[in-house]
Amino acid sequence: MIAQPVASHFIDGAYVEDATGAELLSLYPATGAPVARLHEATPALIDRALAAAQRAQAEWAATDPTARGRILRRAADLMRARNRELSELETLDTGKPLQETLVADATSGADAFEFFGGLAADLRGDTMGFGGDWAYTLRRPLGVCVGIGAWNYPTQIACWKGAPALAVGCAMVFKPSETTPLCALKVAEILTEAGLPAGLYNVVQGRGEVGAALTADPRVAKVSLTGSVPTGRRVYAAAAAEMKQVTMELGGKSPLLIFDDADLEDAVSGAINGNFYSSGQVCSNGTRVFVQAGLRDAFLARLTERLAGVVTGDPLDEATNFGPMTTEAQMNIVLDHLERARAEGARVVAGGGRMEREGWWIEPTVLTDLTDDMICVREEIFGPVMSVLSFDTEEEAVARANDTPFGLSAGVFTRDLARAHRVVARLKAGSCWINQYNLTPAGLPFGGSKASGIGRENARVTLDHFTEVQSVYVGMGKVESAF
């Protein structure tokens, strides 16, 4: 299988190659076979992308916002029309099963373009009166913004960052993860086909140094990163040195609280979605599953039965519902975690190791006999590993759920809705679900609290994150002065 793009980069409305950049090899995670060879952006190409973005942005900001929105909505239509092709590419890039990518990646990107396309013409300021004099505020686009992506959702991340930026009149230079370079190029191509003027959405490939060079460039007003907490700290610090704005979508170790009165089947489904979808490579996963003591045994029994429904195979086969790790390095990180968990006394009730097949596969794994201080309960594993803990009281569950430096997400399963709202109100997490898990519609803000991030993606609030307020005071009378 080959998924060689036209060229490595997309700059100023066209594919661009520069073979002098270091080679980036894109591998199909299901087999480890190469699917594309690309090159890292050289400093000259980074400069070209930023210069194109800067040149195009001023005119875009002055464009009728209804026209801006129309282009984004056209891009949404094109993405939906090309969903199968884009989903196959996402599967080749990440190894996620086509069964998932057909409904979760280009479709989510299209939703973002449609949602922000609709909002583009509704960017508003305020007016204030001061007894004669008055004032108004304008929401002005920040300018050239940089997006830096992780490898788990390459299409979605490229769209979630690009859509609000373009809607408000910003330009974007996007750097995908070096391990999943293919999908963002298609997003740029589709935006161009939809009528986006050249220079407004550029893609440059590369490792962390390319992201660092973009972050440090004085032409850049804002950096939006999806990645790990350590990278987030580095990028945030570099942006702060230049007083740039940031959005940080980082990692998590989110709690999923399942009370005795929960619908067992729904709770098990929520835990499966929140731990094994995308083979566990989802930042908002509910990997600390706290089950109230009375339901624990029934939960584990049903979960184990349901794991018999796992179908592995070529992720491009729509019957496959569980895929490999996206990178060999991530597979090794997860295997190390499993080894340490066993050494700390965890009991493996399902899975627990690498699958015997080519590629980077890890079995869906369930750990029990855990304490809250074990490494597998404290650290983000970013793989198909569910830690099942048990609790007695609501008070205890909330305290233990919040006892983490992360604060991305949380879930509650209970039939007692008063309790559900009471518990959610006490959970320190940016994105919570009641009797559901991991659904992220474009109209709902998504993002983390504490170490899990700064700012939000999706929803109207994101317009604020790509604009700044300009205040205009209007004097209506004579100007008084001391002399």
> For the residues of 354-367, what is the DSSP string, one character each?
B-SSSS--B--EEE
Residue number, 260 or 328, with CB nearest to ligand NDP:
328
Least separation in angstroms between CB 285 and ligand NDP = 9
Residue number, 211 or 352, with CB nearest to ligand NDP:
211
Least separation in angstroms between CB 98 and ligand NDP = 20
Residue number, 42 or 177, with CB nearest to ligand NDP:
177
Residue number, 97 or 227, with CB nearest to ligand NDP:
227
Least separation in angstroms between CB 412 and ligand NDP = 20
Q: Which of 249, 363, 380, 457 is labelled catalytic?
A: 249
φ and ψ at 362, to 5 degrees? -125, 140
- Cβ-proximal residues to 341 (8 Å cutoff; 6+ apart), any chain: 348, 367, 374, 375, 376, 385
How do strand 23-28 and strand 33-39 relate by DSSP bridges? Answer: antiparallel
Do the beta carbons of residue 375 and residue 326 sit within 8 Å?
no
Distance CA 227, CA 318 (A): 29
Q: Which two tokens stand for residue 6?
A: 């036209």
Q: Which two tokens stand for residue 378?
A: 């404290």
Distance CA 158, CA 471 (A): 32
- Residues near ligand NDP (CB under 6 A) are 148-152, 175, 177-178, 207-208, 211-212, 215, 225-228, 231, 234-235, 249-251, 283, 380, 382, 408, 448, 453
Distance CA 466, CA 407 (A): 23
Q: Is the dihedral of CA 471, 477, 482, 483 positive or negative?
A: positive
Least separation in angstroms between CB 116 and ligand NDP = 17
Euclidean distance between the first and the last CA atom of the chain, given in angstroms as a whole number: 80
Least separation in angstroms between CB 236 and ligand NDP = 10
Distance CA 455, CA 113 (A): 19
Least separation in angstroms between CB 50 and ligand NDP = 14
Least separation in angstroms between CB 344 and ligand NDP = 21
Distance CA 27, CA 482 (A): 73
249 is catalytic: yes
Residue 74 three-state SS: helix
Residue number, 120 or 246, with CB nearest to ligand NDP:
246
Distance CA 381, CA 341 (A): 11
Distance CA 201, CA 412 (A): 39
Q: Tell me the residue number closest to ligand NDP, measured at CB.
A: 211
Enumerate the β-bridge partners of residue 85: none
Residue number, 211 or 351, with CB nearest to ligand NDP:
211
Residue number, 214 or 295, with CB nearest to ligand NDP:
214
Residue number, 111 or 380, with CB nearest to ligand NDP:
380
How do strand 255-258 and strand 245-249 relate by DSSP bridges? Answer: unpaired
Distance CA 479, CA 242 (A): 37
Residue whose C-alpha is closest to residue 73's, from 119, 131, 21, 17: 119
Residue whose C-alpha is closest to residue 279's, from 201, 199, 205, 382: 382
Least separation in angstroms between CB 330 and ligand NDP = 7
Distance of CA 476 to the CA centre of its chain: 48
List, by residue number, the catalytic residues.
249
